[in-house]
Amino acid sequence: MKVLIIHNDLRVYWRRRLFFLRDFLGSKGIELYAVELFGKGSPYNFESFNKTESWWDCLFPDQSDADLTKHQIKDKIFSKLDEIDPDVVIGGSIVFYSGALGLRWAKRNKKKFIMFDDAKPSWVKRNLIVQGVKDLITNQIDALWLPSDEYDAEYTLLYSKNKIKYLYGYDCIDNDLFRVDGAKRVDTKKIITVSRLVEKKNVISLLEAWKFVEDNDDSYALIIVGDGPLLGELQDYQKSQGLKRVNFLGVAANEQIPKILFDADAFVSPSLYESWGLVVNEAMAAGLPVLLSTKINAAFTLLKDGENGYLFDPYEPGILQKKLLEFIRLPEFVKKKMSLKSLELISQMDFNYMGNELLQTLSFFKTRPFKKTSLLAGALLNRWYGRYNTKEWDKVG
């Protein structure tokens, strides 16, 4: 069996997933191929495509989607899929080129298609007609790969489990990468956040809350790791408010992040929107309790409120103030218990879980006939090419 994963880009988090899956599936006699579309225009531009693996290719290494027509993109995707001729195609949501065109190719060639997604339908604003068209097309997929079964409550309202196979765990990281030698301390007196400094990360609200924290208990420091267009504005706010226990570290190299996380007592994110939030996985794999916004989808799977951290509404700054102080004033043995709980919970969402979920679905496909597309859905699918929109990376709404 041949399996092909296709997406706009397959960098950063995807890199280790793909190498793991290549070996994991290969040990079962299944070949894995990876195709990313664009070498330019990605939020991950800091990591260029420089792979030499014969099973991993980039169709437009020196271009972004803005440099190409939808027909050029379609023709190159179809040509590559014809060349590899996979039995199963795995792609992103049908709102993207990878999902829309990957599904179209799969239907034309009577292959199975798995769609991965971590956005919740209720969090995405669409009018009824647009949502209806999307749902009609999406119902033609064979399987839906979600981060966890916590998503079922929303997705099963649109896509029945009687018609579509559900699998879970694709939003995993290499947990082992974030393990650091030595016992985890919970008395470093540091709380950390790691993010791009853009509007939707809502770091300004964190600083506003931290002003209250410093006024009431200045025993802890807030460590901010990351860079972005709002850095100067945030530093100006720090100075204007006289915040003495805030440290901007700037960008840290990937290999430094595990140790930086490990050397803190807790992780906090006040983000206003995260379709998942893989930095939460990283923090928990490093043994940190987590204080998370209710607008981070990972929070509803990985955070057990009061057990390994706290949940808060990012639009109510008083709650964040309270939760930060509450954590700071916990006895050390409670913080240690929270740390261990984070490690326990994240251990249930690792690469082996991801691989086994996919393997079970591939085995399930062997017993299932080709799923025919209705005339209306087929007509819509043949007119829809997808797109590449990274607006949500920086802004909300």
pLDDT of residue 6: 97
Q: What is the pLDDT of residue 45?
A: 64
- Residue 7 is predicted with a pLDDT of 95
| Cα gap 68→80, rounded to integer Å | 17
Q: Which pLDDT score is estimated for 46?
A: 62
- pLDDT tens digits, 235-271: 999 999 999 999 999 999 888 999 999 999 999 999 9
Q: For the chain, which domains are there?
A: 2-172+350-393 (3.40.50.2000), 176-346 (3.40.50.2000)
pLDDT at site 271: 97
CA–CA distance, 128 with 190 (Å, rounded to integer): 46
pLDDT in tens, 314-341: 999 899 999 999 999 999 999 999 999 9
Average pLDDT by stretches of 10, the chain with 397 residues:
95 91 98 95 69 92 93 97 98 95 97 95 80 90 97 94 95 94 91 96 97 96 96 97 96 92 97 95 98 97 98 95 98 97 96 97 94 90 83 55
* pLDDT reported for residue 44: 67
The span from the CA of 348 to the CA of 284, in Å, is: 12
Q: Is the separation of the CB atoms in 220 and 326 below 8 Å?
A: no
Whole-model pTM above 0.95? no
Q: Long-range CB contacts (< 8 A, 24+ apart) of 157-166?
A: 157/121, 158/121, 159/135, 163/139, 164/139, 165/361, 165/364, 165/365, 165/368
Best CA proximity match to 217, nearest among 226, 228, 227, 209: 209
Tell me how far CA of residue 13 lies from CA of 16, 289, 332, in angstroms.
Answer: 6, 22, 33
